[in-house]
Structure 1
Amino acid sequence: MSKDMEAAISMQFDLYGHIARSYENLKKVGSAHYTIGLVEARLQALESNWEKFDTQHDKLLATYREALAGHDYLKKDMQSLTEESYIAQKSMFLDIFRSLKNKVSAEAPAVGANFLQTSRTTLPRIQLQQFSGRYEEWLSFRDLFNSLIVKDASTAQVEKFYYLKTCLKGEAELLIRSLPTTAENFASTHSS
């Protein structure tokens, strides 16, 4: 058995460990400290580890199929074991993510409603529009978003970035999908 194959298998077992412990590592932070950004970052790390595992698995089979025949890696069916662990971990992250997102959504209208009630009691609530990245939609999206979200002093930067992310779709959404929901990322992506 080659050293390269043993190193690759060892890396696979390490990746399995990282995947299988993902949710436990999040729990160490404590649920009171969970944020949408933290859960997104942990979910991205989990997905990255799964992609590495899956790619390496294909390379191992393509290069060392015969040598792996009697190895624990195939006997234990590490690919299936890791995939099931990945799916279980991802489902727990998504449950927390959706819970946090719903909590923010439930709190956000209350803040917006109070603002509108005190300053514009006769106007109906304005729904934020979606932006797909098309040039002809940009000016109306920018002006409305700036008016309702950016210029609202009672809304935190991280909340503004959350609102921005929920308004984007298509190519525009793809550009910032991987950015964690943080105040710093709103400041770096937003230009007045």
Structure 2
Amino acid sequence: MNRLIQQRGFCKGQITRAHATVAEVVEASTSVETLEYRLAKLNANYERIIELSEHLCTYKDEPDYIDPATDVVEYEEKHFYTHSVLFQALNQLRKETKPSAVDVTASETSIECLVSSQTKFLEKLRESSSHTELHLEKIKIPTFSGNYEDWRQFCDLVLVSIDKRANLTNCQKFHYLKSYLDGEALNLVKHITVTDDNYKEAWERLVQP
């Protein structure tokens, strides 16, 4: 299990670096081949994270088990943002060099394969972990940036959709909560580590006037 965690950590690090430097990479890239290589590498690391996450789920009864669901959404967002930037830059270069329809179709197929892989992973994760639900699309919560007029609605939705859900751990609740914050509201909690124990502290910071 430890080896799986280490391998998964390496892939997460690769995606994080790609996400952090994508603007510089696009600006410096002058060839289609360079962007194609980086896009393929990004996709490979994301697919590997999904594969390793599936394997980790088989160890859910081990005492040191770490639920991969706690950060899968974070790296999904990093991957798709980075993929989008690289893909747009690649398409622009291809237009300038009169790309073939085959190349564009191949990239679109790659995106479809990634979405399919992620869907299968989430389904397996839901089946193997009865206490976990990752149906984020069912939680219809608008982003809260700190505007006092929006607080009451946001607070009520979080309490009903996240805080009161017994099938979510506090760590997962904290992760979901942060995903719906922006601006000043996010600044209040963004430096707090996402753990079970810190969820209450983060929520109290938002509740305090």
Q: TM-score scaled by structure 1?
A: 0.51
What is the correspondence of 1:70-89 to structure 2 with a 5 Å cutoff?
Answer: 74=103, 77-89=105-117
- Structure with higher RCO (Cα < 8 A, 6+ apart): 1
**Equivalent residue for 1:12, pick from 11, 29, 39:** 39
The aligned counterpart of 1:175 is 181
What is the correspondence of 1:149-164 to structure 2 with a 5 Å cutoff?
Answer: 159-160=169-170, 162=172
The aligned counterpart of 1:186 is 199
Contact 2:47 2:114 in 1 (8 A): yes
Superposed CA offset, 1:150-188 (max 9, x none)? xxxxx9xx834556788x7xxx971299x8963144154
What is the correspondence of 1:16-95 to structure 2 with a 5 Å cutoff?
Answer: 16-31=43-58, 32=60, 33=65, 35=67, 38-67=68-97, 69=99, 74=103, 77-95=105-123
Task: In structure 2, give the amino acid aligned to 1:22.
Answer: I
Task: In structure 1, give the amino acid aligned to 2:169.
Answer: E
The percent of aligned pairs where both chains have the same amino acid is 11
**Equivalent residue for 1:103, pick from 128, 131, 156:** 131
In structure 1, the gaps of 5 or more residues are 106-130, 150-154
Superposed CA offset, 1:48-82 (max 9, x none)? 213322221121222332536369x817x332232
- Counterpart Cα distance in 1 of 2:72 and 2:98: 32
Q: 1:163 to 1:19 in 2, by over 3 A?
A: closer
Q: 1:51 to 1:159 in 2, by over 3 A?
A: closer
Contact 1:15 1:53 in 2 (8 A): yes
- Counterpart Cα distance in 2 of 1:61 and 1:55: 10
- Counterpart Cα distance in 2 of 1:91 and 1:69: 31
Q: Which runs of 4+ in 1 moved over 3 A?
A: 96-102, 131-139, 158-166
- Counterpart Cα distance in 2 of 1:34 and 1:64: 42
Count of residue pairs brought into register by the alignment: 146
CA RMSD across the alignment? 4.7
Offset of residue 11 of structure 1:
0.4
In structure 2, the gaps of 5 or more residues are 1-27, 134-140, 145-149
- In structure 2, the residue corresponding to 1:48 is in which secondary structure? helix
